[in-house]
Amino acid sequence: YTIQKGSVVAYVSDDGRYLLQGDLIDLESSVNLSEQSRSDSRRVLMKSLDDEDAILFSPAEPKYSVTVFTDVDCTYCRRLHGQIDEYLEHGIEVRYFLYPRGGPASRSWNTSEEVWCSKDRGDALTQAKLDREFETSNCDASAVSDHYIMGQEVGLSGTPAIVLDDGELIGGYMPPDALRMRLEQKAAVEELE
Is the pLDDT at 118 greater than 90, yes or no? Answer: yes
Is the pLDDT at 164 greater than 90, yes or no? Answer: yes
Taking only the tens place, the pLDDT of each residue in 129-159 is: 999 999 999 999 999 999 999 998 888 888 9
Contact 112, 136 (CB under 8 A): no
Which amino acid makes up residue 50? D
Which of 189, 186, 193, 192 lies closest to 63, judged by CA?
186
3-state DSSP assignment of residue 102: coil
What integer pLDDT is reported at residue 153 of this predicted model? Answer: 86
3-state DSSP assignment of residue 130: coil
3-state DSSP assignment of residue 115: helix
Long-range CB pairs of 122-126, under 8 A, 24+ apart, other chains included:
122/55, 122/56, 122/57, 125/55, 125/70, 125/72, 125/81, 125/96, 126/81, 126/84
Statement: the pTM of the whole predicted model exceeds 0.85: yes
- Classify each residue of 151-166 as buried b or exposed e, where b means 16 or more C-beta atoms within 10 Å of its C-beta: beebbbeebbbbbbee
